Structure 1
Amino acid sequence: LPILCTRNPQMPIDIEAEGCGFWLEPKDVEGWKEKLRYIADHAEEAKLMGKRGRALAEQIYNDKQCGKEIANIILNYET
């Protein structure tokens, strides 16, 4: 399934630009309903968006990448 997420400056990717989800505004109930209806009405597109999201997550949030980030934090830590 596609990612549905409120806008967040901490999110390292643009889910809409990557074609794997939709940004929504907090408390925008109508916006959430609209996107959920869209997903329900466009099942094949939703499935493809979900696959793109999974591939992107595996690329960004894998063991090797997380290890690099942790090592970078440790190496740049100043006491």
Structure 2
Amino acid sequence: MLGLPIRCIHSEDGCCWSGPLRHLQRHLNTCSFNVVPCTNRCPAKLNGRDLPALLPHNCPKRRLKCEFCGCDFSGEAFESHE
């Protein structure tokens, strides 16, 4: 049974991996289509492959520094900073 060929549980999201059932867990440990929490502790859940592209620009909890006064802010607080 462990030799049965299967596709990744994220195949409908675009993952192309397929292999024997016995290798599924090994694949899932590194599958870039796994849903992971945001590393800034915001409530967003993203595909691991999307995290590096979205985090610096879209996360409301990302850290930003004002280029004029040098203060550190979260992304959501920075929007109201003058």
Do they fold alike, i.e. is TM over 0.5?
Answer: no
- Decide which structure has greater strand share: 2
- Decide which structure has greater helix share: 1
Larger Rg: 2
Q: TM-score, normalised by structure 1?
A: 0.31
- Higher relative CO (CA 8 A, sep ≥ 6), structure 1 or 2? 1
